[in-house]
Amino acid sequence: MNSETEDTPLFHKPLSRRKLLGGAATAAVVLVQTAVGKTVQAAIPEAAVITDDPTKKPGPLPSELGTRSVYEKPVRKPSDTSSRTPLQDLYGTITPADLHYERHHAGVPTIKPQDYELYIHGLVEKPMKFTLSDLKRFPAFSRICFLECSGNFRSNPAGKITPQEIAGLTSQSEWTGVLLSTLFREVGVKPNATWFLAEGSDAAVMTRSIPVKKGLLDGMIAYAQNGEAIRPEQGYPARLFLPGWEGNTSVKWLRRLEFSDAPFMTREETSKYTEPVKDGKIRQFSFDMDTRSIITFPAYPVQVEKGWIEIRGIAWSGRGKITKVEVSTDAGKTWQLARLQDPVLDKAHTYFRHLWQWNGAETEIRSRAVDETGYTQPTFNQLVAARGDNKGGYHFNPITTWLIQRDGQVLNKPDK
């Protein structure tokens, strides 16, 4: 028996009492056509109303601070002494300040900006103290460049390791502050001063010896990052910043510069931050970060589909600009030039791309970078031959290989 009447909407379905009562208070009323063509009103309970249509409801009003979408959740990967930038989740080359990697030796100190002082003394004509306000009165200087921990290398025998875990101790920001050359002139650095000691205000009292010529070349004291005051994890209120050099030399929470005619041979440049090389020797004061690149897509844990894939990644060098990046999609048998994204800056992350058509066969992809000095990123075996097996140590910058299996699963292929 047909139960339709002339007043029964075509889409009508029985509703439970709970749904009916739950939606009655906010039921929507629409006009629908019945089986016999008559137009009637029909109530749609709230539970049946589409609520994710942004055109149907005003959104939040302007706020004091912006936030990420609730659907985007990039996070650093922390350990006891560091946290790594999620390279695979970033777009372009600028790292959001809250995702910039952090590395410290005794936690993050809390320093009131009104209490901050920087003392400069030693082989200078006029020993001086500078407050944060004093530093900000000098001509400001900004530049975009990367920062990298010298111990920025990890591996996993099973290949289940992300770009973040392999090389996430590098990040890039726009840094703003005062050039060291400006302060050196202000205090009158003496001609026989060839080194200066940089000392931090953390509980570890981090100290490093720095050649004066580096400070004059491009060193700065940074008090801002990506347009805002630097974060506490990055050295608030002010830090030393030495473009292209290993991260520990850019001493955070900077409180003192002392000039001398010789390095100070502190703990962090004798028993630490030195690396073994061949024949039982130890390399000291290896400041420059070597040329490196890494493919950030496709990478573990991504699973790709057969067809066109844009291979993407970043390349950088502590000795200058990246001049080219090559990509291999056949386990290193052949190499093709990748496209570099402008602007290509000095001592900065450079974004690269390469369009590739995957045929579904198992293969390996990798990248290698070349900087303006002609240095080419080496393989793992080349590094071992030159330095000994320093895997997991300092200044280890091997080519990273990704294995693409037949099912599209991407894994890191560990070096042997």
Please report, for the domain that includes residue 234, its CATH number.
Answer: 3.90.420.10
In a domain, 403, yes or no: yes
The three-class DSSP label of residue 138 is: coil
- What is the pLDDT, as a whole number, of residue 39? 52
pLDDT tens-digit series, residues 102-150: 999 999 999 999 999 999 999 999 999 999 999 999 999 999 999 999 9
In a domain, 6, yes or no: no
Question: In this structure, are 211 and 119 located in the same domain?
Answer: yes
Residue 185's CB is within 10 A of a number of other CB atoms, namely: 11
Cα–Cα distance between 377 and 290 in angstroms, integer?
8
Question: In this structure, are 187 and 320 located in the same domain?
Answer: no
Among 153, 150, 148, 149, which residue's Cα sits nearest to residue 392? 153
145 bridge partner residues: 173
**Average confidence (pLDDT) over 297-319:** 98
Cα–Cα distance between 167 and 148 in angstroms, integer?
9
H/E run at residue 83? strand 82-84
- What is the pLDDT, as a whole number, of residue 280? 78
Query: Global pTM?
Result: 0.86
Cα–Cα distance between 99 and 95 in angstroms, integer?
6
Structural domain that includes position 260 = 77-274
Among 124, 367, 98, which residue's Cα sits nearest to residue 228? 98
Residue carrying structure tokens 């790292």: 95
CATH code of the domain covering residue 344 = 2.60.40.650
- In Å, what is the CA distance from 53 to each residue of 24, 30, 256, 287? 21, 17, 57, 54
Q: Where does the pLDDT of residue 277 fall: very low under 50, low under 70, confident under 90, or very high at 90 and above?
A: confident
Cα–Cα distance between 232 and 202 in angstroms, integer?
11
Question: In this structure, are 299 and 250 located in the same domain?
Answer: no
H/E run at residue 41? strand 39-44
Least confident segment among 107-121, 122-136, 270-284, 294-308: 270-284
Cα–Cα distance between 288 and 213 in angstroms, integer?
14
Question: In this structure, are 233 and 300 located in the same domain?
Answer: no
H/E run at residue 37? none
Domain boundary among 218, 243, 274: 274
- What is the pLDDT, as a whole number, of residue 3? 46
- What is the pLDDT, as a whole number, of residue 99? 98
Are β-strands 117-122 and 254-260 bridged in parallel, bridged antiparallel, or unpaired? parallel
Residues 345 and 92: beta-carbon distance below 8 Å: no
- What is the pLDDT, as a whole number, of residue 161? 97
Q: Which amino acid is at 84?
A: R
pLDDT tens-digit series, residues 345-363: 999 999 999 999 999 999 9
Residues 128 and 269: beta-carbon distance below 8 Å: no
Residues 75 and 296: beta-carbon distance below 8 Å: no
**Average confidence (pLDDT) over 269-289:** 86
What is the domain count for the chain?
2
Question: In this structure, are 86 and 184 located in the same domain?
Answer: yes
Residue 233 pLDDT > 90, yes or no?
yes
- What is the pLDDT, as a whole number, of residue 386? 82
Question: In this structure, are 111 and 175 located in the same domain?
Answer: yes
What is residue 250's DSSP assignment? S
- What is the pLDDT, as a whole number, of residue 385? 85
Cα–Cα distance between 8 and 34 in angstroms, integer?
5
Question: In this structure, are 201 and 308 located in the same domain?
Answer: no
**Average confidence (pLDDT) over 385-389:** 78
Average pLDDT of every residue of the chain: 90
- What is the pLDDT, as a whole number, of residue 282? 84
Question: In this structure, are 265 and 296 located in the same domain?
Answer: no
Residues 30 and 41: beta-carbon distance below 8 Å: yes
Give the sheet arrangement for strand 350-358, strand by strand. Answer: 292-297, 307-316, 350-358, 339-340
In a domain, 318, yes or no: yes
Question: In this structure, are 299 and 270 located in the same domain?
Answer: no
- In Å, what is the CA distance from 224 to each residue of 95, 141, 213, 214, 221? 14, 10, 24, 21, 9
Least confident segment among 27-31, 84-88, 229-233, 319-323: 27-31
- What is the pLDDT, as a whole number, of residue 51? 66
Domain boundary among 274, 309, 340: 274
In a domain, 69, yes or no: no
Q: Which amino acid is at 319?
A: R
**Average confidence (pLDDT) over 167-194:** 98
- What is the pLDDT, as a whole number, of residue 10? 42
Among 14, 25, 71, 69, which residue's Cα sits nearest to residue 49? 25
Cα–Cα distance between 249 and 235 in angstroms, integer?
13
